Amino acid sequence: MDALWAFLEKCDSDAHTSGLTQILENAPQHLVNKTASQLRKRSAWLCLEEAREYKRASALNVMQLPSPSKRPTPPPVTIAANNAPSPTGAAETSRHRPIDVLGTLGRKDSFIGARRLARGQSNIDERTGAAKAAPTNEEVAQAVQEKVAAAVETQRKYKHVLWYSLFVAAYLIVLFLQASAYNSGEVVSTLRNALMPDGGMTATFQSDDDVLSYIGLKALLPTWKDPVCGDGRCEFPWEFPAWGRFGCKADCGQETQTTHILVQVTSNFVGHPNISPSVLMAAVSWNVCLADEQRRARGEADLCWFDSDQQFTEIEAVRLETMDVVDGNWYVNLMGDYAGRVSGNIYDLTNSTNPVKMTTDPVWEMCALPTQDTRSASVQAAGQAQESAKQEPPGQLDPASQLIADLNENAYAALQLLEAWSAALHDEQGGASQDGVEDVADEEESFVDH
């Protein structure tokens, strides 16, 4: 076998097809099998790598290959049955042929030869011109280990780059969604077109007033303008289908989902022991309004059926009002009825022949009147003075008495109003306002004395 390995160390491109076949013709079968196995594991691979290094070196002009006539030829070797070289019966030797160059850069899949050339190494000894020793198993294993480690490291770096790219993409998507870039771009484009209608980028002004005037005329008025009913565009929520005196019929049409109702308001300001009916009637007003949370959120007032609060013109009266209202939460805005002298009912007139009474929360009823005179002594004295002054004929009073009578009448009306205000304040604040009411009563007595 030593002779066989010596021959394989000097193998050329035909070693496997000519010389090796002739050498193994007369060898035993077990020796042929062993030789073939070792050839696959070591010899053939090493011969292939040597050939690749020769080709690469020839292509890159790293070394000068010897001519075929100067290459040494291997000695004749025979293999006997006892696995020892025999001096007689030399077998036919193979001719050492030159290595063919397959391309300008040689074979690129030999990483061992590439590593040697990268380090400036050559497989040919420059002094002797002979081939260097083949790499050992340790060198081959180390080269394979380095190659695998480099591949694993490259794969790890690619994974890191992939994960980083995914993170950056997700981060940019989140920023885009949070910034609402599309809406912001529309706003900027609208303002730019409004401020620079001619496509310019700069403008020159003479004074600050010119700047404000330019912004007002070019941006504010054209962009933020109140909707106009009749321009053919229904601009919700400022414009909506018409009902009652509200909405824009020209642009949005007529509201069909309405309910026909009847509001009955009953007033009776007579019978209060402390306050005159005229004073009570003058302080009371009412209206029917729609509680709209969307309008309140925009800072707008609730829609009320009447343009202004309705006043009472009669001390005892029953008033009927019909309305076509939309669906929603409606309420009666009753102001100034401190004595509770106004009541009412609401009826659904969808079926005009059979009106249906609608419930209100709380129930809209009158309050019970007090059964005794709870006025202060000063108010009672002023009332008595007024009654006595009315009983005397006007012609019998001297100018001084007439002036006193007029003052008493005015004072009586003022005291009645103060009494009503004190009672309402006491009901709202409870006992906390008792001191204030007493102070008002003292002022009343002092005013009457004067």
pLDDT in tens, 230-245: 888 898 888 899 998 9
Task: Look up the pTM and report it.
Answer: 0.40
> Residue 357, Cβ neighbours under 10 Å: how many?
11
Inter-residue contact 7 to 96 (CB < 8 Å): no
User: Rg of the chain's alpha carbons, rounded to an integer?
Assistant: 58
Q: Is the pLDDT of residue 26 over 60?
A: no
Q: Is the pLDDT of residue 306 over 90?
A: yes
State the average pLDDT over residues 390-416.
58
Q: Which residue has the higher pLDDT, 25 or 437?
A: 25
Q: Is the pLDDT of residue 27 over 70?
A: no
State the average pLDDT over residues 264-287.
90
Closest CA to 83 of 40, 38, 43, 24: 24
The predicted structure's pLDDT at residue 145: 87
Q: Which residue has the higher pLDDT, 68 or 201?
A: 201
For the chain, how many residues are written? 450
Pairwise CA distance, residues 260 & 224, whole Å: 37
Q: What is the pLDDT of residues 325-342, one digit of tens each?
A: 999 999 999 999 988 899
CA dihedral of 203, 205, 209, 214, whole degrees rounded to 10: -30
Closest CA to 38 of 76, 131, 30: 30
Pairwise CA distance, residues 58 & 135, whole Å: 20
The predicted structure's pLDDT at residue 232: 86
Give SS3 for 309.
coil
Q: Which residue has the higher pLDDT, 436 or 287?
A: 287
State the average pLDDT over residues 157-164.
96
Q: Is the pLDDT of residue 83 over 50?
A: no
Buried b or exposed e, range 103-123, using 16+ CB within 10 angstroms: eeebbeebebbbebbeeeebb
Confidence class of residue 164 from pLDDT cuts 50, 70 and 90? Answer: very high
Percent of the chain predicted with pLDDT > 70: 52
Q: Which residue has the higher pLDDT, 414 or 382?
A: 414
The predicted structure's pLDDT at residue 262: 94
State how far Cα 29 lies from the chain centre.
Answer: 82
The predicted structure's pLDDT at residue 114: 53
The predicted structure's pLDDT at residue 440: 40
Q: What is the pLDDT of residues 185-221, one digit of tens each?
A: 787 777 777 777 666 667 788 888 888 888 888 777 7
The predicted structure's pLDDT at residue 69: 47
Q: Is the pLDDT of residue 41 over 60?
A: no
